[in-house]
Each structure stands twice: as C-alpha cells, then as structure tokens.
Chain A
Amino acid sequence: MLTIANKQFESRLFTGTGKFANRELMTKAIATSGSQMATMALKRVDLNQLNDDILAPLIESGVHLLPNTSGAKNAKDAIFAAHLAREALSTSWLKLEIHPDPKYLMPDPIETLKAAEQLVKDGFIVLPYCHADPVLCKRLEEVGCAAVMPLGAPIGSNKGLVSRDFLEIIINQARVPVIIDAGIGAPSHAAFAMELGADAVLVNTAIAAARDPIQMALAFKLAVESGRMAYEAGLATQVHHAIASSPLTAFLDQ
C-alpha cells in the first residue's frame, strides 16, 4: 500500500483529466484505470461552482482530487492559485506545477522550490512536478514536500523514461514517495518505472489520446500492478554475457 501524507492508496497509478474527447470518457477511463487520485488544472475549472462540468463528475466518482497549478509561470502566481483552490475545493493537496516556458512546459526548479517551501508552511500537502534532478528532489524533500514528481521525458512526449539514470538515483535517495510524471507513453514504460522502484506513476496523454482510452486505462492498470509486483518479487540480475567458471579466482581453491 502506498502512503502519501498519511493517506493510503491501493492503486499506484495516478491519472490526469485533460485531453479527453468528453467528460464521460474521462470518468470511465479513470474508473477503469483503478486510479484513486486524479489531477486537474485549476485553470480549467470554475472554482466558484462545484457543479462545473469537469469538477462535478470527478467529485461524484469519488476519486481523490489533486488540483494543479498548470499555467502559473512563477512562485507568486502558483501560491495565489493554490490558496484559491484550497478555499474552493476544501483540499490541501496540491500538485505544484510552474512552467514559465509554454513551448516545452519545462518546470522551473528555482520557482518550484520557492513556492514549495512557502506552501508547506501554509499547510499544503505539496507534490511538486520537477526535473529528474536528484539534488532538486532532495531539496524539495527537505522543505517538506509530501512526495516528488520527477519527469520521465518532456510532458506529453510519450517518450518513456529518457531520464532513467537520474530517476534511479532519485528513487535510491528519496525518503518520500517518488511519482514519475510526464513522458510515460505506453504501459511498458509504466511497468518499467515500477520495476525501477518508483512508488507510483502519473499518466494522462497516453490514456486520453489513445484510440480507445478505456482499454488503454485498463492496460496501464495491469502494467502498473505487474511492474510493482516484479519490483517486490525482486528482479533477477541482468547479465549480458555468459558467466565463466571462476577463471580468475579458481586458484583460491587449489
């Protein structure tokens, strides 16, 4: 069971809510994925009315809401938006996203750390989207983030774990859950992330933009479960050559 800030999750697959062809498809895909936490952009919902057509079906489905600050270009805007969201949605959970670069949507490490520090002080449960930068992840952990969400590849790129070597260091060092976010384009990528020891993955585009999002949601569910199971079972070591019969140390037995 995965625990983030005292909340337990049976599913290690988190989902996004953007890019779906309609709301019904979105809710069905999330339900099929088994996901218990879905992130949604504050800028896409009307915080003044809970019957908003994105919010209402999510609230009804019972999935845990993880509002995100996508659209914020700096710490100040993200902090302000976070407070508005907490007031309107009565949740302290927040996916902190700050990308000043609208083309590649790269997270700003400096502004993210600044905002995270303040938001933790303000009582938020902060899950920051960040680069696969081991030092940054430690710094975010030190200021009190409840988890870290390093990227596998540029967001929406579906390229898989191009940051693999850095993710492995992050996973080894982390004392908070590591959720791999962005870039996961296929169930095999998700399974691989879980095999590496990630605590969870967050998937949006790969499900929402699939030809059949509901089937793809199921495929991801199975992949995440299977990847986790493999991690827990302990993968056998990979070798790229046959193991010779002790030619270098045989003399020790002579």
Chain B
Amino acid sequence: MSFLERFKQLDWDDIALSIRSKTASDVERALHKEKRDLEDFKALISPAAEPYIEQLAQLSYSLTRQRFGNTLSFYIPLYLSNLCANACTYCGFSMENRIKRRTLSLHEVERELAVIKQMQFDNVLLVTGEHETKVGMNYFRQILPLIKRQVSYVAMEVQPLQQAHYAELKSLGLDAVMVYQETYHPSTYALHHLRGNKMDFNFRLETPDRLARAGIDKIGLGALIGLEDWRADCFYVAAHLDYLEKRYWKTRYSISFPRLRPCEGGLQPKSVMSDKQLVQLICAFRLLNSEVELSLSTRESAHFRDKLIPLGITSISAGSKTQPGGYAMQEAELEQFVISDERTAEQVAAAVKGQGFEVVWRDWHAAYSG
C-alpha cells in the first residue's frame, strides 16, 4: 500500500468541480467547526471563501500562535550542484538550458558553511539538480557527515531515492526531505517533464511513503503552483498529507507554496494565483491542520513575506542564494530561480522581530538524528 492506491481513487475533474461548486454556507460551516476535514478544506480554498478572507486569517493567526507561539523558524538553502539530467519546462537547472554547471567540492562546501554559520543558521536545506551519477549517493555519503558536524538540522531537496538509501542517509545525519510532486495531474506532469528520471510520476508520488518507512523525521510536500488548476493541485497536497499523517504517525510534515516565477526558459503559469489566493490557501491549510509546518521561501517579495508571516507560516528561508557557491562566491548566472526577497538574513530577522516574533535559529540537537 502506498499513496498511489489512494491517488487512483481520486478523480481530478470531480475534485475541481466539487471545489468550484462549494457555497457560502459550506464555507461558513467549515469556519465554525472545531476540527475540519478535506471537504471543509475544499470549501476554504474555493472561490466562495474569498469574501471570508479576514475570518480565515483571524482563525489561522490564533491557531498558529497557540501551537507555535510568537516564533518563526529560519532555514537557509545550500545549493550543492546545478547539474541535472532532467528537462523540466519551469526550472533554470533544466538540462536544456545552456548555463555554467558546477558541483561543489568538499572544500567549497566548507567555505559555504562558514558563511552560513556566521549568519547564525543551524537549519540547512541541501539542494541539487537531479543527476544520479555525478550527484548521487556517493556524493551524498561524502557531503552529509561534513555538513552534520556543523549544522544541527539537515534537510535535502534532491532526486527521489530508494528507501534503503534514505535509511543510510538518515544514519549519516539526514533529518528531513522535501519532495514536491510539482503537479498531481499526470498528463500535465508529462507536459512539463520532458526527459530524465523525473518523468516517472508514480515513483515521485510514492517517495513520501519511502521516506516515512525509512524513519526520516520530516517530509515536505507541495505543488508548484501555476502548472495546473491550483485549487485541485493543492487539494491533492492536502489529501496526500492526510494519508501520510494517518499512516506514519511518527513523521513531521511541512507544506510549501512555491508559485511559478520567471526563470531562464520563462514558462508562463497556466493558473495564476493572486496574492489574496495565496493567503487563502495558507490559512486553509492551517484551519485543516493546526500542527503542520507551513513554509515560505524567498520566491515571494520582501513586502508580501512580511505581511504573510503572522498568518500561519511557521518557517521561512532568508538571505538565500539559489546557485552553488552563492554564499562564498557570487556567480548569479548559475541560479535556479530569481529570488524576490533580496534582504540579508539579518535584515529579515530584524523585520520579523519588529513584528513581535522571536526568530528560532536552532530547534534541534544532533543527538536526536540518525
């Protein structure tokens, strides 16, 4: 049994239609319940819920404060390599883009870590393109122990791996893995993943099952908002979360909300999500699930991020560079996507504190890993 079986029972068109046909009274019922289910979530992300945005935000704010307090966790991505054997229409690392490629050596990783530690970070997300032979298990085996010596909480966003490999990486200190399905619509998925292993929709879809079975502490889910009807895609994310939480009760989960941004290749989103709709979505996730971590990257602008922070977000990146070697060296032409919040980590921390939140740089001890 994996999520694939559950997935096969879901019908995209039925779901999209059911979301669109939710009414104001469905929304009000969902708002007034103490515990909400996936049907309520549909109502909360539906067009019918847009006029209720302030109520959603108020509820989301108070649920988030109760669980997470007046705090916000900080993490930073560390790009290790932009080598990629996939051709994906939306990504700057796509093998078809003629950009400079590099993979950081152990020595270069040390240099990046030195800068990252100086910024106070203790929670790092390792990012690579997907290149099985050059940036695969052998590379991860070398790099993880090195990073774990300096950083308490280590997350990864790389190609999907086998369960046994995840278990091995866990023993080397890996704590969390982000694996976004991009879109849960198989034929749209096929349109955007043209070459390489990433074409395998099902293998990716079953990755969170493998991760949880390998005992990874935290799994990050999400859809690349804009590839398909965002409401239906985000419903699938919620259904995926619901399935995982019930099956793997020892795992933590986080949800991310990447919206399509301009990058080399310049793909235009099929479904455009407004700022207001992103607020609606974040609040809807919080109302569905008071405990799940909600994460926001520097894809969003500084101004908008500052406004979003109190509404339900629990963890943000700051001071990010999206190219390998970006912290110690500066070579902008290697980057995966253009970041919109260009403030330094210190500036973001000051803005967060200015809004009455404590920055949590450290929330893990390596004794709990492995």
User: Could you tell me which A residues sit within 8 Å of B by CB distance?
Assistant: 18-23, 42-47, 71-73, 77, 80-81, 84, 100-104, 156, 158, 205, 208-209
Residues of B within 8 A of A77 (CB): 367-368
**Do A101 and B66 form a contact, CB below 8 Å, given A21-B356, A73-B368, A84-B365?**
no
A20-B363 Cα distance, complex, nearest whole Å: 14
**Do A19 and B365 form a contact, CB below 8 Å, given A101-B249, A101-B250, A102-B251?**
no
A218-B201 Cα distance, complex, nearest whole Å: 57
Other than the given A21-B358, A100-B249, A104-B291, 15 more pairs (CB < 8 A) read A19-B70, A20-B70, A43-B362, A43-B363, A44-B360, A47-B365, A71-B364, A71-B365, A77-B367, A80-B367, A81-B368, A102-B250, A102-B251, A205-B69, A208-B70
Residues of A within 8 A of B71 (CB): 18-21
Would you call B70 and A21 a contact (CB within 8 A)?
yes
CB distance from B95 to the nearest CB of A (A): 37
A209-B368 Cα distance, complex, nearest whole Å: 27
Q: Give which listed residue, A22, A44, A47, A71, contacts B368 with CB less than 8 A.
A: A71
Q: Quick one: which of B350-370 are within 8 Å of A by CB? A: 353, 356-358, 360, 362-365, 367-368
Would you call A156 and B67 a contact (CB within 8 A)?
yes
A66-B69 Cα distance, complex, nearest whole Å: 20
Would you call A81 and B65 a contact (CB within 8 A)?
no
Q: Quick one: which of B47-81 are within 8 Å of A by CB? A: 65-71
Would you call B362 and A18 a contact (CB within 8 A)?
no
Residues of A within 8 A of B360 (CB): 44
The 10 closest A-B pairs by CB, nearest first: A19-B69, A21-B70, A102-B252, A81-B367, A43-B365, A80-B367, A103-B291, A21-B356, A71-B368, A100-B250
Residues of B within 8 A of A158 (CB): 66
From A46, which residue of chain B is reached at the shortest CB distance?
B362
From B293, which residue of chain A is reached at the shortest CB distance?
A102
Would you call B358 and A20 a contact (CB within 8 A)?
yes
Q: Give which listed residue, A45, A73, A209, contacts B70 with CB less than 8 A.
A: A209
User: Could you tell me which B residues sit within 8 Å of A by CB distance?
Assistant: 65-71, 152, 245, 249-252, 291, 353, 356-358, 360, 362-365, 367-368
Would you call B367 and A22 a contact (CB within 8 A)?
no
A245-B37 Cα distance, complex, nearest whole Å: 56
**Do A44 and B362 form a contact, CB below 8 Å, given A21-B70, A158-B66, A208-B69?**
yes
Would you call B365 and A102 a contact (CB within 8 A)?
no
**Do A205 and B66 form a contact, CB below 8 Å, given A20-B358, A71-B365, A81-B368?**
yes
A80-B362 Cα distance, complex, nearest whole Å: 18
A158-B358 Cα distance, complex, nearest whole Å: 21
Residues of B within 8 A of A80 (CB): 367
Would you call B69 and A44 a contact (CB within 8 A)?
no
Q: Would you give 10 A-B contacts (Cβ < 8 Å), ordered by A?
A: A20-B71, A21-B71, A43-B365, A44-B360, A71-B363, A71-B368, A80-B367, A81-B365, A156-B67, A205-B66
A73-B368 Cα distance, complex, nearest whole Å: 7
Would you call B367 and A23 a contact (CB within 8 A)?
no
Which of A46, A84, A100, A102 has the largest number of chain B CB atoms within 10 A? A102
Q: Give which listed residue, B68, B251, B358, contacts A22 with CB less than 8 A.
A: B358
Residues of A within 8 A of B353 (CB): 22
Residues of A within 8 A of B365 (CB): 42-43, 47, 71, 81, 84
Residues of B within 8 A of A100 (CB): 249-250
Residues of B within 8 A of A44 (CB): 360, 362-363
CB distance from B328 to the nearest CB of A (A): 23
Would you call A73 and B356 a contact (CB within 8 A)?
no
Q: Give which listed residue, A20, A46, A84, contacts B367 with CB less than 8 A.
A: A84
Residues of A within 8 A of B358 (CB): 20-23
Would you call A103 and B68 a contact (CB within 8 A)?
no
A47-B367 Cα distance, complex, nearest whole Å: 12
A2-B31 Cα distance, complex, nearest whole Å: 45
Would you call B66 and A156 a contact (CB within 8 A)?
yes
A100-B68 Cα distance, complex, nearest whole Å: 18
CB distance from B359 to the nearest CB of A (A): 9
A71-B218 Cα distance, complex, nearest whole Å: 12
Would you call B245 and A18 a contact (CB within 8 A)?
no
A101-B249 Cα distance, complex, nearest whole Å: 6
Would you call B363 and A72 a contact (CB within 8 A)?
no
Q: Give which listed residue, B152, B357, B367, B368, contacts A21 with CB less than 8 A.
A: B357
Residues of A within 8 A of B245 (CB): 103
Residues of A within 8 A of B250 (CB): 73, 100-102
A44-B73 Cα distance, complex, nearest whole Å: 11
A46-B368 Cα distance, complex, nearest whole Å: 14
From A105, which residue of chain B is reached at the shortest CB distance?
B291
